[in-house]
């Protein structure tokens, strides 16, 4: 049975933005949905966030949806996953590139970013179905991050012109995209 795990971004929690809307929509379709509250969202540490993903017990029937820094946590978790383990799908919404040289220098790192960036080959060994959703006018995560992630993952790339960082509660911008993907 499919399980969806929503990993929120930095400076937020599962009760904000579009996360509660999506959880409710999925549960109405009898899809199990978990949206963990990640520790210290104002100043997150990658290992703490990865531990929370582990607690949700993702498996080959799991769809992981990560927004912004939450998407980074999913990708870093996939890099550490043992050989042979897979998840069903990963959907990245406005997710940062993994390269420390390309990130906003005013924000903390704490393991989210490295000079080398993501190990896309290792990540792809744990999932065959990636979707990257990004808007060209995102003020927080540059569009080039979406391009880099989509290319590196061989992902379906959903490009928007004026959807920002996909941050509002019941955003028809994100809901139409996710409904199409999750049907």
User: Which range has the worst mean pLDDT, 17-31, 95-109, 110-124, 147-161?
Assistant: 95-109
The CATH number of residue 68's host domain is 3.40.50.1820
Domain region containing 168: 3-182
When the pLDDT of each residue in the chain is averaged and rounded to a whole number, the result is: 89
Give the position of tokens 């929509």: 25
| Total count of domains within the chain | 1
Q: pLDDT digits over 80-117, tens only?
A: 999 999 999 999 999 999 986 655 554 557 888 888 89
What's the rounded Cα separation, in Å, for the pair 94 and 100?
Answer: 17
Angle at Cα 63 formed by Cα 133 and Cα 183, nearest 5°? 75
Q: Are 174 and 93 in contact (CB under 8 A)?
A: yes
The fraction of the chain above a pLDDT of 70, given in percent, is 86
């Amino acid at each position: 049975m499919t399980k969806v795990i929503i990993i929120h971004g930095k400076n937020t929690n599962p009760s904000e933005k579009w996360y509660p809307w999506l959880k409710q929509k999925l549960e109405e379709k009898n899809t199990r949905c978990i949206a963990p509250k990640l520790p210290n969202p104002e100043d997150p540490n990658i290992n703490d966030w990865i531990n929370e993903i582990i607690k949700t017990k993702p498996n080959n029937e799991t769809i992981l949806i990560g927004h912004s820094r939450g998407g980074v946590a999913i990708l870093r978790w996939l890099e550490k996953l043992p050989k042979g383990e897979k998840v069903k799908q990963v959907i990245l919404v406005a997710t940062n590139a993994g390269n420390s040289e390309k990130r906003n220098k005013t924000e903390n790192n704490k393991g989210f970013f490295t000079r080398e960036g993501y190990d896309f080959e290792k990540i792809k060994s744990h999932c065959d179905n990636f979707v990257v959703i990004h808007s060209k006018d995102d003020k927080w995560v540059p569009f080039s991050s979406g391009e880099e992630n989509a290319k590196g993952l061989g992902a379906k790339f959903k490009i928007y012109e004026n959807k920002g960082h996909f941050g509002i509660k019941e955003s028809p911008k994100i809901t139409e995209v996710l409904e199409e993907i999750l049907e």
